[in-house]
Structure 1
Amino acid sequence: MYKLFKYVLFISLLTGNLTYGQEITLFQQFNGRYDYLAFGNTLNPAENNIERAFCNILPESQADLLLPTNTTIVAAYLYWAGSGEGDLNVNLNNTPIVADNTYLVEFNDQTYGNLTYFSCYADITDLITSTGNASYTLTNLDISETLASNLGYCGNRTNFAGWAVYVVFEDSQLPLNQVNLFQGLEIINRNVQEKTILLDNVNVLDNDGAKIGFLAWEGDSNLDYGESILINNNIISSPPLNPANNAFNGTNTFTNSSTFYNGDVDVYNIQNNIAIGDTSVEIKLTTGDYDIFGNFQADLIIINNIITVLNSQLPDATIQINNINLECGNRQVTIDYTVFNINSTDVLPANTPIAIYANNDLIATTYTTTQLNIGASENGQITVSIPDSLPADLIITMVVDDTGNGSGIITELNELNNEASQEIQLLEIPVNPLQPLLNCDEGFNSAYFDLYLSLDQIETNGMATSFYKTLEDLQSDTNEILNPSYYQNTTSPQTIYLKMENTPCYDIYYFDLTVENCPPIIPQVFTPNNDGYNDWFNIQGLYNIFENHKLLIYNRYGTLIFEGDNNNPWLGNSNKGLNNTGKNLPTGTYYYILNLNDSQYKTLTGWVYLNR
């Protein structure tokens, strides 16, 4: 199994798959026991700068794929190129191929003005895998209308078309390699005589057998003026096919052919041009010099792709967030994740650090627990707390090989693929206030309440509700109030918490139970005859409610005969006066003055009939 990493952002300028002047950058990377080969052919009947009479291309051309035995195809890409703005549809062995992307470059010819050249590519892995070693014929690449409508291409001898297939394959007998495929479209010519291309994201651990390949178009074998390829400032060559002063000359290294007219599929050994520890390779291309007659001459060379094969034994840690479990009303989240070492050429050691960030703030660290062999993975779980300072909407990011300060401890094949992120929204539950429930004091600042009356203030929509005396009880779903319709408060005011089920969690409300002193109800008759019924002057809503009240009882002559308070109710006897203290009073009408000693109420006066 292999894993691909794409780093190129294709910016479409004309259509969704048309790009002008794309710099050569990393397109795909493969790590394992991999190598590559290329095959293809020109559609030019001859080199256009030697046979100057023709102004057409062939309708088709053929090339053979000859993979070594006991190999497995990993990926295959078809490139086709030519003069003009592009033919996006071709056939390979009668299979229609549509370009995945198209690149364009321009050359400003001093005689013919701006001339455009194109290159297309398509992923044809399935086709090559199913067909295997065979002869392949490319057809339907047609630039005849371009050549007929713009005489500049044939006039300056840059009329060309051709194709090539790059195949990455796996072979168990190969060393562990890193294969980097860079692509784009860059041009050098008499106007731009030098081009520097920096290939980054390479890891040179062993330069033994290191090689580099080029796919280029429109090179000419007889235009060898100032032409060179330099790797890290060293000229490379592969004579006799590719001499140092004429690298782009219509050759194919894989077939040792010099008849790939106006196209080049070349490979160079660069083990003496790179050093162990290098993480990038600088390529410099040059063209242009004066001939023996003093005339300036330069080739027009279009670079389409560059591929490197480097021996490399390194792990490649990646991480994936599988799930983030959220709890209602809780800022703790549980993260399930997997650490991989798939696109690698060495084991990933145990105790590789992992950092967890919330909106770029470090909130936790952990580490792998086992050594991960090539292609292996490890599942993990961690519970982290989200700081109160962060909003409910946030991004969780996990970074493997990160000690918590953005730096790691493991040298990897790819240092740019170590993180995974996921947006979450905490299930925060606001606590919403409701209006209090009021009830008359039934004694000692307490009363019985119907808590269900609070539901009149909200839309329940049939959702289940429950009541609790504390927020902690509600959140833990313990100590629910069992009889909400007849609940006696314990303090005044007392806060009650209401929980209403709601997707995905529940809603929380709170309200106060408030006891108030209501006007007392004073009877107009009582019968203190010891029969157990109505035996005392029972003023309802007075005792243990207006605890500081004073009650004065007068007879019909205006004489004070009784003085009472919260601890001394009137039982029909006297406790004032010279002759009647402690005696039961006779049947008759008596008059009262009731001072509640409450600023909200005036003194109450009236009469009561005592009937024995």
Structure 2
Amino acid sequence: MKKLHYLIVMLTFLGILRLNAQDITLFEQINGRYDFTFIGNTMNSAENNPTFSYITSSSSAAQLNMSPSDRIVRAYLYWAGSGDGDFQVNLNGNPLTADRTFSHARFFSPSTFTYFSAFKDITSYVQATGNGTYTLSDLDISAFEALHYSRKTNFAGWAILIVYENPSLTLNQLNIYDGLQGVPDALQINLTNLFVLNNTNAKAGFIAWEGDSQLPTETFSVNSIAISNAMNPINNVFNSTNSITGSNTLYNMDLDVYEIDNYVAIGDTSASITLSSSQDFIMINTVITKLNSQLPDATVVINNVATLCNSREVNINYTVYNTNSTEILPANTSISFYSAGQFLGRTFTQNAIAIGGSETGTFSLNIPISISNNFNLQAVVDDMGNGIGTVNELNENNNTFSIPVELTTSPDFNALEDLTSCNLGLTRGQFDFSSYESAVKTDPTQVVHFYETSTNAEADILALLNIANYEAISTPKEIFVRVENANCYAITSFSLLTRNCPPTVYNAVSANGDGSNDTFFIEGLRDVFVNFNLEIYNRWGKLVWTGNNSKADWDGTVPNAIGGEKAPEGTYYYVLNLNDPDYPNALVGYLYLAY
């Protein structure tokens, strides 16, 4: 409010209240060989306080003139005015919509007076356009000018904050604060995590709106010391001036820059900036400081976490950065890992990391059983495992990175019963376990393979191909089953067994050497019932032949007969003792011998 000096005694009666605003807070910190400047202009053709007419237009222009060695890295447009806000404007004929908006309101009985500002990142546009004239247009506060004219707070204006890089500059830390905060509410900004190596060319600047040059009750202080320069008296800093151009006709706005070399000492680790006014109603939009503070700034990113199947060991790939910094990050900077506040392990950087550099490393952790299979893994750089670091950094609040981790566990599977088939001799057997491929699954998406050894199953090599007609050379034979899901696998097994099935007797013998039924053949006998004993009798009950597992089948010859005679054609009887506990009784039958 203008001329509050004659209204101070009446504040209680007028009910002047601060209704709302966005306090000035840190927007961005930039570290490197950087500096800043402003361009901008007011929309007011005169100061609003002593003028008895509307003085606010919707367009004005300013010149940008950067050195060829200056490389623009940031360009932030701020515009402001009286009223609820106009957040769509034009810059050099290009329509812009605000990225962020700010508001402030004061109650001056009987009305509430509102003010606004807006922000737009126009870095790419200014980089492409370069030096020349910048015209902001279509900034319209006409709907609110009559109300604000009644309090002489009708204004509008714009400014572009430009951050640029130049290799000749020292390593600096730039802090950009913004919002929309009213003064006479004193505004103080505390800078921390500094290490001022050189105070040469330290400076601070601000974008302020609605100040009046006739009210000398305003101060700008650094570390509690009020400072001034040729354009800004020590008690009248919001006086419609532009420190860059030397103009004192920037009506109802200020683009001021102060050299603060003498107010910041080498070795300082903190500093404070204070803006105050005891009479004039001022709104601070943006404050930027530049200090030659040389410190590293460690950050960490977990690139990947590799989990082992059915294991609580994880392998972490991470990168430590020193990108937004003004000093080398020393070697042996610690990186600690946590889950839900529980310390898991610690490693260290191997080398000094240059400004703008990085280092990638790997680290293995065994996750305690007390932590669930799904958890958040947190990496904290410059942390010794107790929340305490050893490196003084530019920013101590950006050292943490988190990533969700899921330990891979073996899939569930159904148990498989052992398979039994007939002994084909010497425990050899033929098996079909093709149905087990689906029987073992608990999820149809699982993949199943069979192996002859556990080593092959673990390594997933030499899977069995013929599982519908698999021949086991000897039994018992264990078959291993690998059941896989997308992330892990399980190994189970079943056994192939054989039993001695009842032999089949072929009781027709035509011992004529034609290759068909030339001997008395009993299928499933030899090498199955290895202790069998076979006796053949003629019709009168005389034993004519005996055999066992080591003796050839009977071809009708009667051993020890005179002249080695062949037994005559006819019916004979056999007695087969299998000598097997499953078959305690002899098998008895007849056979017919012919030639």
Category of TM-score, reference length = shorter chain = 0.7 to 0.9
Residues 523 and 103 (structure 1 numbering): CA distance in 2 closer, same or farther, change over 3 Å? same
Question: What does 1:468-483 correspond to in 2, within 5 Å?
Answer: 468-478=451-461, 480=463
Q: Distance in 2 between matches of 1:424 and 1:508?
A: 21
Q: Distance in 2 between matches of 1:247 and 1:184?
A: 19
Question: What does 1:22-37 correspond to in 2, within 5 Å?
Answer: 22-37=22-37
Counterpart of 1:211 (choices 164, 185, 203) is: 203
Matched residue, 1:416: 397
Matched residue, 1:250: 240
For residue 205 of structure 2, what is the amino acid of its counterpart? Answer: G
Matched residue, 2:173: 178
For residue 299 of structure 1, report the CA deviation from its aligned partner.
2.2
Matched residue, 1:71: 70
For residue 592 of structure 1, report the CA deviation from its aligned partner.
8.8
1:158 equivalenced with 2:153 (yes/no): yes
For residue 468 of structure 1, what is the amino acid of its counterpart? Answer: Y
For residue 90 of structure 2, what is the amino acid of its counterpart? Answer: N
Contact 1:56 1:147 in 2 (8 A): no
Contact 2:76 2:119 in 1 (8 A): yes
- SS at 2:434's partner residue? helix
For residue 203 of structure 2, what is the amino acid of its counterpart? Answer: K
For residue 161 of structure 1, what is the amino acid of its counterpart? Answer: A
Residues 210 and 489 (structure 1 numbering): CA distance in 2 closer, same or farther, change over 3 Å? farther
Q: Distance in 1 between matches of 2:193 and 2:93?
A: 38
Contact 1:446 1:489 in 2 (8 A): yes
Most deviating of 96-105 and 239-248: 239-248
Matched residue, 1:309: 290
Contact 1:316 1:414 in 2 (8 A): yes
Q: Distance in 1 between matches of 2:192 and 2:314?
A: 38
Residues 408 and 489 (structure 1 numbering): CA distance in 2 closer, same or farther, change over 3 Å? farther
Residues 267 and 535 (structure 1 numbering): CA distance in 2 closer, same or farther, change over 3 Å? same
For residue 59 of structure 1, report the CA deviation from its aligned partner.
3.3
Matched residue, 2:564: none
Residues 112 and 67 (structure 1 numbering): CA distance in 2 closer, same or farther, change over 3 Å? farther
Residues 546 and 147 (structure 1 numbering): CA distance in 2 closer, same or farther, change over 3 Å? farther
Matched residue, 1:520: 502
Counterpart of 1:401 (choices 382, 398, 405) is: 382
RMSD: 4.8
For residue 250 of structure 1, report the CA deviation from its aligned partner.
2.2
Matched residue, 2:17: none
Matched residue, 2:139: 141
Q: Distance in 1 between matches of 2:243 and 2:447?
A: 78
- SS at 1:452's partner residue? coil
Q: Distance in 1 between matches of 2:344 and 2:326?
A: 32
For residue 21 of structure 1, report the CA deviation from its aligned partner.
2.5
Matched residue, 1:220: 212
Q: Distance in 2 between matches of 1:134 and 1:591?
A: 120
- SS at 2:23's partner residue? coil
The CA deviation string for residues 347-375 of structure 1, in whole angstroms up to 9 with x for no partner, is 23334334455676655544444433333
Contact 2:190 2:273 in 1 (8 A): yes
For residue 30 of structure 1, report the CA deviation from its aligned partner.
1.6
Residues 463 and 186 (structure 1 numbering): CA distance in 2 closer, same or farther, change over 3 Å? closer
Contact 1:26 1:181 in 2 (8 A): yes
Most deviating of 401-410 and 437-446: 437-446
Most deviating of 512-521 and 39-48: 512-521
Matched residue, 1:487: 471
For residue 538 of structure 1, report the CA deviation from its aligned partner.
6.2
Matched residue, 1:342: 323
1:382 equivalenced with 2:356 (yes/no): no
Matched residue, 1:101: 100
Counterpart of 2:480 (choices 462, 486, 496) is: 496
For residue 604 of structure 1, report the CA deviation from its aligned partner.
5.9
Contact 1:469 1:497 in 2 (8 A): no
Point out where structure 1 has 5 or more consecutive residues left out of the alignment: 1-19, 289-297, 558-563, 572-585
- SS at 1:116's partner residue? strand
- SS at 1:129's partner residue? helix
Q: Distance in 1 between matches of 2:41 and 2:480?
A: 84
Contact 1:63 1:137 in 2 (8 A): yes
Q: Distance in 2 between matches of 1:236 and 1:359?
A: 47
Alignment size in residue pairs: 555
TM superposition score normalised by structure 1: 0.74
Q: Distance in 2 between matches of 1:427 and 1:131?
A: 53
Residues 498 and 131 (structure 1 numbering): CA distance in 2 closer, same or farther, change over 3 Å? closer
For residue 432 of structure 1, what is the amino acid of its counterpart? Answer: F
Residues 483 and 524 (structure 1 numbering): CA distance in 2 closer, same or farther, change over 3 Å? closer
1:510 equivalenced with 2:508 (yes/no): no
Point out where structure 2 has 5 or more consecutive residues left out of the alignment: 1-19, 541-546, 555-569
- SS at 1:62's partner residue? strand
- SS at 1:474's partner residue? helix
Contact 1:546 1:597 in 2 (8 A): no
For residue 90 of structure 1, report the CA deviation from its aligned partner.
2.0
Residues 405 and 443 (structure 1 numbering): CA distance in 2 closer, same or farther, change over 3 Å? farther
For residue 266 of structure 1, what is the amino acid of its counterpart? Answer: D
Counterpart of 2:437 (choices 446, 455, 461) is: 455
For residue 452 of structure 1, what is the amino acid of its counterpart? Answer: S
Contact 2:414 2:439 in 1 (8 A): no
Counterpart of 1:168 (choices 163, 171, 175) is: 163
For residue 567 of structure 1, report the CA deviation from its aligned partner.
12
Most deviating of 305-314 and 85-94: 85-94
For residue 138 of structure 2, what is the amino acid of its counterpart? Answer: N
Residues 316 and 506 (structure 1 numbering): CA distance in 2 closer, same or farther, change over 3 Å? closer
For residue 553 of structure 1, report the CA deviation from its aligned partner.
13
Matched residue, 2:543: none
1:267 equivalenced with 2:257 (yes/no): yes
